[in-house]
Structure 1
Amino acid sequence: MSIFNRISNMVKAKANSALDEMENPIELLDQKIRDMEESLNKAKISSAQIFGNLKAIEKEMNEAKEASNDYDSKVRLAMSKGNEELAKKALKLKLDSDKKYESLKTSYESLEKKADTLKQNLSSLQEELDKTRSYRDEAVARLNTANASKQINEIMANVKSKDNSINLDDIERKIAKKESYAEGLESLKTPSLEDEFKALEESSLEEELNKYR
């Protein structure tokens, strides 16, 4: 691999890494949900047209079936009255109605299969959309937790860094040195008159205490 290809790959890797840092996973999920919602709405519109056509064909089938039954009754009535010509006319219309019914039935059954497939696809798409929405809510909670943990860890790392570290032993030695210095000054202090009387009182108390021994 030439040095130019290696440099190009390094640049691409850094660019992809920068993009990964810039991308907000929740925004990506929100966009995915919007795309899925749009697809689902389009599918529902297309499905509504097919379901509408199915209903229309079903209505025509019922009408053709009713017409066939009606003409069948008229054929029987005409034959009972001895009017074969009228019976033939009614029979022709009955056969036309039967033919129309069979044609509509074939179309209906074919379209019904497509409608059933569409229902399944719509159901699957809706289920996938619901899962994505649920995952999005979970992802928000996880991302918030991760961000909070990251901030806490960064703060802890900063507290423990050398720049912010404090040597407690050094502080203790400095305080002890100050205390010793103060005690030394105290021992050099000349007793006041009041201090001398206070010392006498303490001696008297010691003598009184000796009486109980």
Structure 2
Amino acid sequence: MSFFSRLGNIISGKANKALDKIEDPIEQIDLAIRKREEAINKAKLESASFIGSISQKKTEVRTIQEKIKQYEEGIRKALAAGDEEKATTFLLKKKEFDQEVASLETTIKTLQTTADKVKTNVAALEKEVKELKTKKSELSARYATAKAQSKVNEILTEVNKESHISLSDIEQKVMEAESYAQGLEEFKRPDVDAELSEYLSDNKDASIQDELNKYR
């Protein structure tokens, strides 16, 4: 194995181990979603009280305005009857109610501004949660692929480190085995000289037999 191959395996192995130590980003997304949803629910519960207070104070304003109308009618009747003192009394009371209405309307305006901000912030947070949930699907697939790729790289790195082979060395051993087998084959070839002697010997024996047959 070359120096650069060994170096590549070392770097790959360290990279894979480093990835294993990284906190699971999908769990981080889940945690972020949960925290935002909890914040949304709490914000809605907390704002419900003063949103309800707005409705209550608006009811109070309507009630007081009805009283103001009654005092205005009383002022007109008192003046028509020539009772200016009574008209003045009714007027002073009406002014008190006017001030109360003004104070309530200021409070309502403040509460409504706060409620509107809360609604805007909650809507923004809900939008963010929706985007996180959409993004989670994509990131989950990408993270799973990265983990699988890292595991494959780690397996291949271990294989390269533990079972590296040299094809040239193996080929040389195969060639040596072939040469040895060829050498053994040479010993198996027939001895032509021995075959010739045996053949001649057989023929000689046949000639002698023929000669002996003449004397039979």
TM-score tier, shorter chain, comes to 0.5 to 0.7
1:155 corresponds in structure 2 to 155
**Aligned CA distance change for structure 1 residues 179 and 79 (closer, same or farther; 3 Å):** farther
Find the counterpart in structure 2 of residue 25 from structure 1: 25
| 2:140 aligned residue | 140
1:53 paired with 2:53, answer: yes
Q: Output aligned runs, 1:1-213, within 5 Å.
A: 21=21, 23-77=23-77, 79-80=79-80, 91-161=91-161, 163-173=162-172, 174=174, 177-178=177-178, 181=181, 185=185, 188=188
Query: How many pairs were matched up?
Result: 172
CA distance in structure 2 between the partners assigned to 1:187 and 1:87 by the alignment: 147
User: SS at 2:165's partner residue?
Assistant: coil
Q: Percent same amino acid at aligned positions? A: 33
Larger Rg: 2
The structure-2 alpha-carbon separation of the partners of 1:61 and 1:176, relative to structure 1 and needing over 3 Å to count, comes to: farther
Structure 2 runs not aligned, ≥5 long: 1-17, 191-216
State the alpha-carbon separation in 2 of the partners of residues 129 and 186 from structure 1.
84
> C-alpha deviations, 1:168-204, integer Å up to 9, x for none?
34444517844983797499477xxxxxxxxxxxxxx
Shift of 1:118: 2.1
Distance 1:166 1:83, change over 3 A: same
Once residues 139 and 119 of structure 1 are traced to their aligned partners in structure 2, the CA distance between those partners, rounded to angstroms, is: 30
* Amino acid in the other structure paired with 2:108: Y
TM-score (norm 1): 0.60
**Which structure 1 segments of 5+ residues have no match?**
1-17, 191-213
Deviations along 1:23-80, one digit per CA (max 9) or x if unpaired, are: 4333333333323322222211111111111111122122222332343244435545
Q: Deviations over 1:128-157 (max 9, x none)?
A: 433444444443223212101101211222
Q: Which amino acid aligns with 1:150?
A: S
Separation in structure 1 between the aligned mates of residue 73 and residue 127 of structure 2, nearest angstrom? 51
| Range with greater deviation from structure 2 (112-121 or 181-190) | 181-190
TM-score, structure 2 as length reference: 0.60
Over aligned residue pairs, what C-alpha RMSD do you find?
Answer: 3.8
Give the Cα–Cα distance (whole angstroms) in 1 for the partners of residues 111 and 71 of structure 2: 28
Distance (whole Å) between structure 1 residues aligned to residue 183 and residue 59 of structure 2 = 111
Higher relative contact order (CA 8 A, sep 6+): 2
Matched residue type, 1:48: A
The offset of 1:90, in angstroms, is 5.0
Alpha carbons of structure 1 residues 68 and 167: separation in structure 2 relative to 1, 3 Å: same
Distance in 1, matches of 2:44 and 2:61, equals: 25
